[in-house]
Chain A
Amino acid sequence: MTVRIAGVTLSHPDKVLYADQGVTKRDLAAYLHAASGRMLPHVARRLVSLVRCPAGAGEKCFFQRHGGAGLTESFEELAVTEKDGGQSNYLYLTGEAGLIRAAQMGVLEIHIWGSQVDDIERPNRIVFDLDPDPSVDFAEVRRAARRMRDVLAALGLRSFPLLTGGKGIHVVVPVARRREWPVVKAFASALAHRVADDAPDRFVANMSKAKRTGRIFIDYLRNESGATAIAPYSPRAREGAPVAWPVSWDDLDEAESAAMVLLADAGRWLKRPDPWRDYAKVRQSLTKAALGALDVEA
């Protein structure tokens, strides 16, 4: 038996992807169909890394960013020159059919680049991933997100919070495509370090786990060529079938965990007004003044 959604045929639609919740491939595709209007502006035409769990969440999952094994036919490809000079084909999708094909392939997570395929060297999205040590309370993570919002606002930048569906919050900054990756990364690094230096008991801007105990790691390293972050509205391959969910700053205070929205009731959440409705309207960029304030050279 097969099912067609958005012109894509699902084989084995009743295959269970999240055993505990009984979420099937058909459920996943139906959710993506419902969410596609909100999701595609963030996902379409960006290179993606996919987490595929052909046997369902909790079973063997793997990251895939290049074509092969059925993916080449399902997605678009872009040849990217790697740091070592070689070329690799990276995947991207352009419309709803791509999302449904992802479900068909057993893709449970979609991670996106910060740039779009027509100009991969200049990102239009900056992400600060607030990644708490397991001992840190979620209220503290919310406080950290508001801290990032405030320092970004001081630099003239609006930001948007995303519950990652895991433990942390992404603070996302839409920017005009103007600066290339190295400048963007230097900016993100400088800001993360400034915030961490200002409250070293709460934050670290440093990868090493040892220093993270009891603190929140401000991961700025997603802001470089080739790095990815979980896409808004992407399901997570985790227990409970959580979804990475955009929220407004006001609603963030109500969130009790970063895995507040589960796939099973995502439909209900989608009926609410778009918490990021201003996202696409924001016109801002890393100005000379903002870079200068952090001693970053443009």
Chain B
Amino acid sequence: MASTSSRSRGSGKQASSRQPSRSRSARRAAGAAPGRPIWSGSLRLALVTVPVNLYPATNSGARISFHQVHGPSGKRIRYEKVVPGIGPVDADEIVKGFEVEKGSYVLIEPDEIEEIKLEARKTLDLVQFVRQGEIDPIWFDRPYYVVADGDLAEEAYGVIRDALRSSERVGLGQFVMRNREYIAALKPCGSGLLLETLRFADEVRAAAPYFAGLDDDGADKELLDLARELIDRKTAPFDPRQFEDKYSEALRALVDAKVKHRKPVEVDEDTGDSGGKVIDLVDALKRSVKSSGGGAKRTSRRKAS
């Protein structure tokens, strides 16, 4: 990589911005302060209120991700919202449409959405408790680490954690995050607390229709014994590291090899049309007319009827 133009530096930055997601999770495991919280508010159990911060417990950045680049030009692909027959449109010309029936929509203006937006309720009231394990995993959506916000909060935080731990219960409540309402299940997790968002009742499909055709009368005794023996033999403590994402690993190896042995393709980050305004718009249009007219058949000469 002899070239040190600003462009290759630019793409180098991208490559390195891929990495920290790994080290970030490593740091989190080591107990260091974990970046920006996704939600800040309070947990409340009757008279006890605890200021807390929420951090995603999952790490989507661990997976390798690519940018889309146009092969022939080496330029980044950009997304543009386009209306057929009109072309690209501005974001603020876009309203939400709810399809009432095929091809027929009711339009909802941003103002109207704004009006019904939920108040940013900053308190998660623990209104109910259930036994640990009582909630079927099908209801769990996303896990977040709950961290006490400030030294003063730690004592009350500890009270809630210890109470949940010793009673073997999970606390339930609702809260608002990014304008959406969530159900939360709060349970002890190591020396802290884990909050898991739950799916709403109408988000989970009933299993019955899928399994309706199945016979539940009991399988053949001999086959059953065989299967159970096999299961017993293969039973071991759960360790997610045992399972490998072979495709991701191969992908990472491929990228690493390319980065090591080859010069990265220089991706032009310029937007193109506002390219520093070196070229006057009039000249730019004249040039494009020439180039797009030159390739095409000269239909422009055809007499319009």
For A154, give the chain B residue with the smallest CB separation: B285
Question: In the bound complex, do residue B289 and residue A289 qualify as a contact, i.e. CB atoms below 8 Å apart?
Answer: yes
Question: In the bound complex, do residue B92 and residue A206 qualify as a contact, i.e. CB atoms below 8 Å apart?
Answer: yes
A194 partner residues in chain B, CB cutoff 8 A: 273, 281, 285
B86 partner residues in chain A, CB cutoff 8 A: 182, 185-186, 189
B84 partner residues in chain A, CB cutoff 8 A: 182
Q: Complex: how many Å from CA A295 to CA B292?
A: 9
B282 partner residues in chain A, CB cutoff 8 A: 150-151, 153-154
Please judge, given known A-B contacts A150-B282, A194-B273, whether A177 and B85 are in contact too, CB under 8 Å: no
Question: In the bound complex, do residue B304 and residue A176 qualify as a contact, i.e. CB atoms below 8 Å apart?
Answer: yes
B277 partner residues in chain A, CB cutoff 8 A: 198
For A198, give the chain B residue with the smallest CB separation: B281
Q: Is A285 an interface residue (CB 8 A)?
A: yes
Interface size on B, residues (CB 8 A): 27
Q: What distance in Å separates the Cβ of A229 from its nearest Cβ neighbour in chain B? A: 18
A285 partner residues in chain B, CB cutoff 8 A: 300, 304
B281 partner residues in chain A, CB cutoff 8 A: 151, 154, 194-195, 198
Q: Is B88 an interface residue (CB 8 A)?
A: yes
Q: Is B242 an interface residue (CB 8 A)?
A: no
Interface size on A, residues (CB 8 A): 34
For A287, give the chain B residue with the smallest CB separation: B300
The listed residue (B89, B274, B285) touching A151 by CB distance below 8 A is: B285
A79 partner residues in chain B, CB cutoff 8 A: none
* CB-contacts of A166-201 with B (<8 A): 176-178, 182-183, 185-186, 189-190, 193-195, 197-198
Supply 13 further A-B pairs (C-beta < 8 A) apart from A182-B85, A189-B86, A288-B299: A150-B282, A151-B281, A155-B285, A178-B305, A185-B85, A185-B86, A194-B281, A198-B274, A207-B93, A208-B92, A290-B289, A293-B288, A294-B288
Residue positions of B touching A, CB distance < 8 A: 84-90, 92-93, 273-274, 277, 281-283, 285-286, 288-290, 292-293, 296, 299-300, 304-305
Residue positions of A touching B, CB distance < 8 A: 150-151, 153-156, 176-178, 182-183, 185-186, 189-190, 193-195, 197-198, 206-208, 285, 287-296
